[in-house]
Amino acid sequence: IWLKDAVQCRDCGMVCHKKCEARCQASGNCGAENLTTMAFEVEEAETTAGIGDSGPEISLTSCEENVQ
């Protein structure tokens, strides 16, 4: 269910699954405190990756000011 694709906020550096991108942007919580909770998921994904696997795809996003 969880793929190796991820997105990273260019403002705070928060990383989340690509499937969770809309939810992360809608939360409006752009800041370093979110990095701790998301870091566990990223570390878990890295430990399950095989030796021949390529690294995660990272794209930069920005937090929208008026998300409803």
* Interval 4-60: pLDDT, tens: 788 888 877 878 888 888 887 777 766 555 555 555 555 555 555 555 555 556 666
The model scores a pTM over 0.85: no
- The answer to whether the beta carbons of residues 7 and 59 sit under 8 Å apart is yes
**Residue 26: predicted pLDDT:** 79
What was the pLDDT predicted at 6?
84
As to burial, measured by CB atoms within 10 angstroms (0-12 exposed, 13-18 middle, 19+ buried), residue 7 is buried
